Structure 1
Amino acid sequence: MNFKRILFFISFVISLVLPFFLHSLWTLAKWIDALFLIGLLLLMIYSVMLLIEGQFFTAFFKSTRNFFAKVNKKDQLIQESEKRTTYSVDYHREFPNRNAFFQIGLLFSIGSLVVSVTYFFLS
Structure 2
Amino acid sequence: MQPILAPYVRTFVDSLTGLPVLPSSVWLIGSQASGRAQAGSDTDLLVFGSSGFLAAVRAALPQPSGIDCLVVVNGNDFEEPWQHKRGALARWNWVLKSATEAQYEGTKFIADEPDGTLGQFETRQERAIRIWPS
**Per chain length, whose mean CA-contact separation is higher, i.e. which structure has more relative contact order (CA < 8 Å, sep 6+)?**
1
Between structure 1 and structure 2, the one with the greater Rg is 1
Higher helix share: 1
TM (norm. structure 2) is 0.25
TM (norm. structure 1) is 0.26
Higher strand share: 2
